[in-house]
């Protein structure tokens, strides 16, 4: 079984995931991840997988054409803590082969496969979460309910694409035999574009019992557009700026007018050294009359 979270809602490639698992030698599992492109042509695709605490990565270097399917192969240790159903969590990184104007060049998408290893077991709990809107931080309420009328202790993980971050990597939740229990998971916006719709995956794995059981669900986080913080102040700011420019222009005009008036006035009379009287009729005291 495969579950894929929705990709970013813009003109981009979008990948559906399926796959199969087989033995590779005595101690290795080989997982083939099939990627079907239901959007525009994709460039190189990176596939990172995590299974029971072990990681591997593979690449589809040639990209995936629109409508085509390509495969990546991951390898993991054969031994798992308990037989049963285990989630293979996937993180897909890719981009459009030819980026459209305004479209993001790098995309991130979550998906996973459920692998039956040694035993098959139905889900122990049911998961659900509503679509939420996010500006910078939001609470995602995740509801859990027992699917078999028995109490369970589960590990809850909220898996997000790059740029959208849960504050807690996981939660340990006690699910009662009857009734709902809700866990609020804080989500923080990182580098995901505004506005966009981001797919989020939910995984719950039982921590009790001899057989591993896993439950999955998906939801969407709607990232809001950038908001003008002071729209009501825009007009006053424009008016104040215009008044300041007018005041500066008046001061400059006054300064130029004073300079022009000063240059237009005649220069004061200088009596020189010939002893002639100045404008006041007084004689220069430095000149002596002949005796």
Residue-level pLDDT at 137: 97
Maximum CA extent, the chain? 140
Per-residue pLDDT tens over the stretch 106-156: 899 999 999 999 999 999 999 999 999 999 999 999 999 999 999 999 999
Asked if 177 and 150 touch (Cβ cutoff 8 Å), the reply is yes
The backbone torsions φ and ψ at residue 250, rounded to the nearest 5 degrees and listed phi first, read -65, -40
Q: How many angstroms separate the CA atoms of 118 and 1, rounded?
A: 16
Residue corresponding to tokens 């240059």: 263
pTM for this predicted structure: 0.74
Residue-level pLDDT at 100: 66
Q: How many angstroms separate the CA atoms of 181 and 176, rounded?
A: 8
User: Of the candidates 66, 60, 74, which has an alpha carbon nearest to the alpha carbon of residue 24?
Assistant: 74
In Å, how far are 34, 47, 166, 184, 209 from 163, measured between CA atoms?
25, 17, 10, 20, 36
Ordered structural domains, the chain, with CATH: 1-120 (2.60.40.10), 122-229 (2.60.40.10)
Query: Per the structure block, which two tokens stand in for 250?
Result: 């008046």
User: What is the end-to-end Cα distance of the chain in Å, rounded?
Assistant: 132
User: Of the candidates 249, 245, 195, which has an alpha carbon nearest to the alpha carbon of residue 220?
Assistant: 195
Residue-level pLDDT at 140: 98
Q: Which residues of the chain have a pLDDT value below 70?
A: 1-11, 100-103, 228-234, 265-291
Residue-level pLDDT at 266: 64
Q: How many angstroms separate the CA atoms of 203 and 157, rounded?
A: 5
Residues linked to residue 189 through DSSP beta bridges, in sequence order:
164
Q: How many angstroms separate the CA atoms of 139 and 212, rounded?
A: 29
């Amino acid at each position: 079984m495969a579950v894929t979270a929705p990709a970013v809602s813009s003109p981009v490639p979008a990948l559906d995931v399926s796959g199969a698992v087989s033995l590779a030698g005595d101690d290795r599992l080989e997982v083939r991840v099939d990627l079907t492109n239901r959007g525009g042509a994709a460039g190189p695709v990176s596939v990172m997988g995590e299974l029971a605490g072990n990681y591997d990565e593979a690449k589809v270097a040639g990209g995936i054409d629109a409508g085509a399917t390509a495969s990546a192969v991951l390898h993991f240790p054969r031994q798992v803590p308990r037989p049963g159903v285990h989630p293979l969590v996937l993180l897909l990184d890719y981009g459009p082969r030819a980026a459209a104007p305004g479209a993001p060049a790098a995309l991130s998408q979550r998906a996973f496969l459920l692998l039956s290893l040694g035993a098959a077991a139905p889900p122990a709990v049911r998961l659900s979460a509503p679509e939420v809107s996010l500006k910078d931080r939001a609470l995602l309420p995740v509801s859990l309910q027992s699917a078999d009328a028995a109490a369970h202790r589960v590990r809850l993980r909220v898996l997000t694409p790059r740029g959208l971050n849960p504050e807690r990597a996981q939660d340990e939740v006690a699910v009662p035999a009857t009734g709902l229990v809700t866990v609020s998971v804080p989500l923080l916006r990182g580098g995901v574009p505004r506005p966009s719709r981001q797919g989020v995956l939910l995984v719950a794995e039982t921590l009790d019992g001899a057989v591993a059981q896993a439950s999955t669900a998906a939801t969407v986080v709607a990232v809001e557009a950038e908001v003008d913080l002071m729209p009501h102040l825009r007009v006053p700011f424009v008016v104040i700026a215009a008044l300041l420019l007018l005041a500066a222009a008046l001061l400059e005009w006054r300064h130029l007018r004073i300079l022009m008036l000063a240059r237009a006035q005649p220069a004061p009379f200088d009596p020189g050294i010939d002893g002639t009287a100045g404008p006041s009729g007084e004689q220069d005291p430095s000149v002596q009359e002949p005796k």
